[in-house]
Structure formats: C-alpha cells, structure tokens
A = this chain, B = another copy of it.
Amino acid sequence: MAVDANIVLLPGDGIGPEIIEQGQLVLEAVAKRFGHSFQFTSCPMGGNAIDSHGTPLPDETLAACRNADAILLGAVGGPKWDDPNAKTRPEAGLLSLRKELKLFANLRPIKPYKQLIDASPLKREIIEGTDILFLRELTGGIYFGDSGVKPHASGEEAYSMMVYNTEEVARIVRLAAKAAQLRSGRVTSVDKANVLEVSRLWRRVAAQVMADEFPDIEYDVVLVDAMAMHLISRPRDFDVVVTGNMFGDILTDEGSMLPGSLGMLPSASLGESGPGLYEPIHGSAPDIAGKGIANPLATILAAAMALHHSLGLTEEAAVIDAAVEAVLDAGHRTADIAAGGNSLSTEQMGAAVLEVLG
C-alpha cells in the first residue's frame, strides 16, 4: 500500500544539516523504490533558530511538527549559544518540542555492530551479544518539575523537583512491556527506591502494571547505581530497560559508549499518538561541522526508525537497516569508525547506502 507522508526535517546546528541531507536522500530512495510519496519540510530549530527567530523553537516550526507524520532531527547546540547567561539556549527548543508533542517515550536501542565490535572500549567477550532497548521517560521527572532559587543565609538555595504520577509511570512501563513482547520478553525497571519517595511510587506502579497486564513478561528492578555498574560489567544480561527522565539521560549515554561507535546510534521519541521525533543520539559536533566528514549512518538509521514507528513501514525500515549492514560489510567507514584506516566523506557514505538501496 502506497503511503503519502509529510516529514518535517529539523537539521539543527553543527553537522546537523550535513547528516540530515543524507537522511532525506535515503528516505527519497525508499519512497521511490516502494512507491510511496514523502513531502519534506525543513524548519529552523535550536541555535540557528535563536539566530534567525530569537527562539530555539519558533511557532511555525512547532506548528509544522504538529502536522507532520514524522520528524527527523539532526542535532542542536554549539559553543556559539553556550553562554550560561543567555536568555535561551538551543536545548530549550528540544525540551519544549518533547513536551508540546507529548513525546513521553525515548527509545534507544544499544546493539553493537559486529563489524565494529573492536571499536568498543569494552573487551569483546563483555560486549559481544549485547542487545538492549532503553525506554527513557521523556516528559516528566526532574526535567519538568517545579524549580526555583531563593535567598539563603549562605547566599542562595535552589531546588528542582523530581515528580511522577501513576499515569506517567504506567504508560512508559506499558510501552516497555509491549516492546519486550517483540524481543526476549524481559523488562528491567531502574529506580532509586531505597532512597527516593518518587522512585517508590515508580516501583509500585511498575510492579502493578507488569503483574496486572503482562504476567508473562519476566520483570525485575535494579537500582540506578547498580545499573550503572551492570551496564559495563554484564551488558548482555539486559533486554528492555525502562527508567525515568534523569536516570535515563545518564544511563542511555553510558550505554551509548558500549558499542564504541556513537555515530551509529539512532533514537526515537514517541507519544501516545501524533508524530514521533527521530534523531541520531550524537551531538552537533561543532569541531567537524562543515568538513563533510560526519557519519550520516545514525541519522539514516533514525530515518528507518521513523518508517517503522510512525509510518508503519516495517519492511522499508528493515531494508534501510540491511543496507547499513551491507555498507559496513563492504568495509565502508567514515572517519569516526575507521580506526585510522581509509574513510569516506559524509556524502560518499550516504551514496554507498543509496547504491545498496538501488
């Protein structure tokens, strides 16, 4: 069945525009091959939007995103907008977008490519076979709780509140369990229930949802500090890992180091309905921006996730994933994964994927 889809591109800052270009080319190739029709709209977001519109998330960008079927983001931020005293920052655009579109679930698969396994900082025998799907809660917790500063005898006192309610926990745990049903059938919930009241609620609700709705899914809980250890010492032991916004921010970034190839990892941010937001997990890499050497593969894999999760095009997504495997098998590498060997430019790597896609 031919699909007609409206895809918003948010190239962002730094290397963003370079990698998004390749993502778009891949999506166009897939559309052509499978007879779909994708319309692309490119919008300012992040630092570039601060420069052009005075705000990291202009109203028109938000409106375009609301009307999209899927959103493909490059990366935002850079030293130019890093002044701590600035009125607004590129990241604020991303946080607003997540909140406005109710993208409460961030999905991050961590699965090393066998072709790149030697790039891992971990020993082969530790990392080989790792296949984790992180689900990070993305619109609640300490990121969006009440916060403030007030005078204090010693100067100032500041606070940020970590808050969760039953529904917020239940819906992300439910999504984790559903994801586990399609995988090895195991869910690990990560909290700090031995110290935090908010984690005790998280643990109660998670246990209830799992027991009531997913009795067949293997379920356990791990403390966040212990999880930070296990991720390094026995990453293979986990399947689906679900956790809150702050813990997820830290643990998914820790996890992103395991494959040793940050430039290969995509992520998806999903809501109950409406468009999903897809992006590479790496940053805007200002140091190599404009040089044409950034690795476009994470963005291309993010585009595949968009086809899968937002457009229901699972076969098309699988074809992109396979094309990426094929270019790696063929020995193609960008500088970040070349281990000092020959490397392709951003465009050449994109072209290599396009060639496989036919």
Contacts and interface: CB of A to CB of B under 8 A. Distances in A.
Interface of A: 84, 89, 91, 95, 121-123, 126, 142-143, 145, 147-149, 152-168, 170, 192-205, 224-226, 228-229, 231-233, 246-247, 249-254, 256-258
B158 A201 contact: yes
A254 B198 CA distance: 23
A163 B159 contact: yes
Given A147-B197, A149-B197, A153-B165, 11 more contacts: A84-B200, A121-B233, A149-B201, A152-B165, A154-B165, A155-B167, A157-B166, A158-B197, A158-B200, A224-B250, A228-B251
Contacts of A258: 232
Contact of A160 (B152, B161, B226): B161
Given A147-B198, A164-B157, A232 B203 contact: no
A29 to B, nearest CB: 32
Contacts of A121: 122-123, 126, 232-233
Contacts of A252: 225
A159 B199 CA distance: 9
A224 B201 contact: no
A91 B249 CA distance: 25
Contact of A253 (B126, B203, B225, B247): B225
Nearest to A253: B225
A256 B230 CA distance: 11
B198 A159 contact: yes
B162 A162 contact: yes
Nearest to A205: B155
A159 B197 contact: yes
A197 to B, nearest CB: 4
Contacts of A199: 160
Given A197-B147, A224-B250, A246-B192, A162 B160 contact: yes
B253 A91 contact: no
Contact of A164 (B126, B158, B192, B232): B158
29 contacts: A84-B204, A121-B232, A121-B233, A122-B123, A122-B232, A123-B123, A142-B142, A147-B196, A149-B197, A152-B167, A153-B165, A154-B166, A154-B170, A155-B165, A155-B205, A156-B166, A157-B164, A157-B201, A158-B163, A158-B202, A159-B161, A159-B197, A159-B198, A225-B250, A228-B254, A229-B253, A229-B254, A231-B254, A232-B258
